[in-house]
Amino acid sequence: MNKTKGLIFAILAAFIYGFTPVLGKLTYLEGSNSMSLTFYRNFLSIPLLFAILKYKKIPVAADKNELKKLAILGSMGSTLTALTLYASYNYISVGMSTTIHYIYPVLVTVACVFIFKEKISKETIIALVLSTVGVLMFFEGNFSLVGIFLALLSGVVYAAHLLFIDKSGLNKMYPFKITFYAAIFSSVYLFIFGTITNTLVFKMTATGWFFTFLVAFFVSFLANTFIPIAVKNVGPTSTSILGMFEPITSILLGIIFLGEPTTLRNVASCILILAGVLIVTVSKDKNK
């Protein structure tokens, strides 16, 4: 494992996941919606991923066992996680949804310790506690059991997504190949769901399509590829904790580009999360 490489890619993925909601909001203003954005960010990335595989001369073919695993993976991170998280926005605030979603680092750590019998360092536990407290400080808004359940489910599915990459052996596959097949399966699932629910948008402004392509490039082409690299090199626990850098990015860019307000409480939350991320970054622990 190359820990430095893993840390860099985990932080880069979190940063990308953090700033794409800003782009997402801009696509909504141009005629899109959450379902369409989730579908197109996968679908539009497929040609780019295929081109990379051909350029790198990586065999595109996958055997039946790999296809089964990739089909399962495609149903998780880019499909069920996104659908349940976006659906929760209809019942509770985005801030509360995000807060509940970030239970996934705790779930990953618990699974690694109690199910997979892995040893977790004191530094990692401290980082997890600090980051979790920081995220919980974002908690606000009215309560809805349906919304809370959906947001919680999104965190559970994403935790399973990270663990599945690590434990299924997919982390040994070329990262862009993983993302290529995950994008294909996700596109199929989302197209079927979007067609049934009549939530897919096919008409947007040129600006809307431009922002949608940017989301596809950054999320499905880059960030979704960085995650398997991070999991392979630092393990699912550290990757999940470093993922908490995402809400900080969202808050900062929301303030800068969308004029969203902030509070002293949010600043304190960011400091705690950054402290947790810093501990993971400088720790000598290698999770695997």
Tokens of 134: 């920081």
Output the pLDDT for position 283: 67
**Predicted pLDDT of residue 74:** 94
Confidence (pLDDT) at 187: 96
Residues 6 or more apart whose CB falls under 8 angstroms from that of 61 comprise none
> Which DSSP category does 115 fall into?
I
Instruction: Give the per-residue pLDDT at 286.
Output: 47
Q: How far apart are CA 93 and CA 232, in angstroms?
A: 34
The answer to whether the CB of 242 falls within 8 A of the CB of 131 is no
| 117 φ, ψ (degrees, to nearest 5) | 55, 40
| Arithmetic mean of pLDDT, 166-191 | 94
| Interatomic CA distance for residues 48 and 53, integer angstroms | 9
Q: Is residue 52 pLDDT above 50, yes or no?
A: yes
Query: Of 40, 11, 80, 39, whose CA–CA distance to 229 is shortest?
Result: 11
pTM: 0.80
* Residue 286: DSSP 8-state: -
**Among 143, 75, 139, 141, CA closest to 101:** 139
Q: Residue 237: is its pLDDT beyond 80?
A: yes
Compute the average pLDDT of residues 262-282: 79
**Residue 114 DSSP SS3:** helix
CA distance 189 to 218: 21
> Residue 194: pLDDT above 70?
yes
Is pLDDT of 69 > 50? yes
Mean pLDDT calculated for residue range 125-134: 86
**pLDDT value at 287 more than 60:** no
Model confidence at 141, pLDDT cuts 50, 70, 90, reads low
CA gyration radius for the chain?
18
Q: Which region holds residue 197: left if phi is over 0, alpha if psi is between -120 and 50, else beta? A: alpha
Least confident of 34-38, 114-118, 199-203: 114-118
Burial (CB < 10 A; 0-12, 13-18, 19+), residue 54, is: exposed
The residue-averaged pLDDT of 3-8 equals 90
Domain ranges in the chain? 3-282
Task: Please tell me the chain's helix, strand, coil percentages from 3-state DSSP, rounded to the nearest 5.
Answer: 80, 0, 20
**Per-residue pLDDT for 143 more than 90?**
no
Instruction: Give the residue-averaged pLDDT of 162-190.
Output: 93
Mean pLDDT of the chain: 86
pLDDT at position 132: 85
- The predicted-structure confidence for 97-118, as pLDDT tens digits, reads as follows 777 787 888 888 888 888 888 8
Q: What pLDDT does residue 258 have?
A: 67
- Tokens found for residue 209: 């399509």
Helix (H, G, I), strand (E, B) or coil at 56: coil
Q: Above pLDDT 90, what percent of the chain?
A: 43
Q: Confidence class of residue 94 from pLDDT cuts 50, 70 and 90?
A: low
In whole angstroms, give the CA distance from residue 231 to residue 280.
Answer: 14
- In 3D space, the residue among 13, 14, 9, 35 whose CA is nearest the CA of residue 24 turns out to be 35
Cβ atoms of residues 81 and 38 within 8 Å: no
Average pLDDT over residues 257-266: 76
Averaged pLDDT for residues 74-88: 86
CA-CA-CA-CA dihedral for 198, 202, 205, 208, to nearest 10: 80
Compare 89 and 16 and report the one with higher pLDDT. 16
Q: Which positions ≥6 away from 287 have C-beta within 8 Å? A: 112, 118, 120, 124, 234, 235, 236, 237, 238
pLDDT at 284 over 70: no
* Average pLDDT of the residues in 202-207: 93
